[in-house]
Structure 1
Amino acid sequence: MRTRMAGLCGAMAVAAALSGCGGEGAADRAEPAAEAKPAEPPFGQTAAERRRAEAERRKAGLGTYWVKTDVATEHESPGGKVVNRIYYGQKLTVFEKRGDWYRTVEDGFVARWTRASQLTDREPPAKPAYAGPDGAVDPRIAKDAIPNPGEYGLTKADVDILHRGARRVLDTRPDCEGIESADKSVNKPDTYYVTCRIRGSVENVFFTKAEVASR
């Protein structure tokens, strides 16, 4: 019995010695703690920095402006070729002033210049909705479905045609449950369209100036 116990103890001693020979204890095997990385700086400006920058731009006559005329033109240079049209109430950022001209595109992009007289640094009030040539309100035509004169480059004559065309479509298309929007076609001359709501879907219905002129 003593011999067997001695052998067992010896075997345990040998196993313990082997486990410690060239091995790693639990403490040795533990991964080193990861070093804390510094927090990334926030992207862009802070709210306070934006306010200060806006105040500095305002002091220089730059910053946020709105179109105050029915239609304003953007030019490739002060007094140069017209490259775009913008409309009443559109919001712009002025980056540079040169005499009576404001540059409304930031550095690094194709420049656009607008006359100072067409812009204002105070947001203009919304224009009252135009009810059409006869002033009648049709509940089947959604509010703001038909633009006001001056919006999107439409003249009063264009808007009158849209109102007449919308009524014509509602009277001749029983499946048209209502008018969702209206505009002038950019591809077809003297052609307009309204968007009808039809059984849960929508469909553009086109008409010409001549078709509604006598309405």
Structure 2
Amino acid sequence: MPDQLPRTRRTQASRSTETRQRVMDTAVALISERSFQAATVFEIAKRAGVTTGAVQHHFPSKADLILSLIDHLGTLPIESGGIWPAPTVPLAERAEAFVQALWLRSYEPARFLVAWSVYFGCAGEPAVLQHVGQRRDAMTARLHTRFAEMFPEAGGGEGCQTLVDTLLSCLRGLGVGRTFGADAQAEARQLRFIAGMVVQHCASVAPAAAGQARTVKPPARRRPPAAR
């Protein structure tokens, strides 16, 4: 008989991590398929194949589970350099790639609607909403920084900030609209339009910057004082 490979023993820590992840994945599935209200501790435990005590060991209250879900669902791949186009790519292509990366990684996936189901379900939970707001502010700030790095020709100031905020609002609205069904062709048209806003903004900034450069006159040279 050939020697059998020894079975790798899982540590208590690995089993605990696996159980925690399974509980969160189950909660996401229940919210996605049914509703936020349906994701009770009992239903989560039943579907995950664990006891309610195991769920409560990892998440002592539903609020703890909700906060963990928000952190799990609300993560944007902002630091993943490989998903973003290089600043050297032509402007129109770069804008389209940037919008597509955000859409495909953050707003199109089913977890986006699950996250919003959680947000709406916690409308009466000030602590949860505060946590959501803090995460949203932090991620928005990082996206503003990322956008400035990728689109130096967009300039700075209020105009660029408004552009990024509008871009994110458009993608957010497009994602929430998928609650009522997805229309791939309509989504593609709107994504192209959003990318076009970036191109149009950059095109309008360039002449303004050039005009400012032309209007700045070098300081007049002072004549040396006349000899006396």
Structure in which a larger fraction of residues adopt helix = 2
- Using CA pairs below 8 Å that are at least 6 residues apart, which structure has the higher relative contact order? 2
Q: Which has the larger radius of gyration?
A: 1
So what's the TM-score if we normalise by structure 2?
0.25
Structure in which a larger fraction of residues adopt strand = 1
So what's the TM-score if we normalise by structure 1?
0.26
